[in-house]
Amino acid sequence: MRPALSLSSNRKESLILIFNFCSSFSLMNSFQIFKIEG
């Protein structure tokens, strides 16, 4: 077991999760703005 490798992989997974959350959140915001405008 290499803790450094697991830490880096965990960090990558968390970054991907954060990126997915941010992209979905911005998508919802833009959709709400579009719905309000149009």
Q: How many domains does the chain have?
A: 1
- Alpha-carbon gap, residue 9 to 37, rounded angstroms: 42
- Alpha-carbon gap, residue 20 to 14, rounded angstroms: 10
Range of the domain at 31: 1-38
| pLDDT tens over the chain, length 38 residues | 566 667 678 889 999 999 999 999 999 888 887 887 75
Residue type, 36: I
Sign of CA dihedral 4, 10, 13, 14: negative
The whole model's pTM is what? 0.55
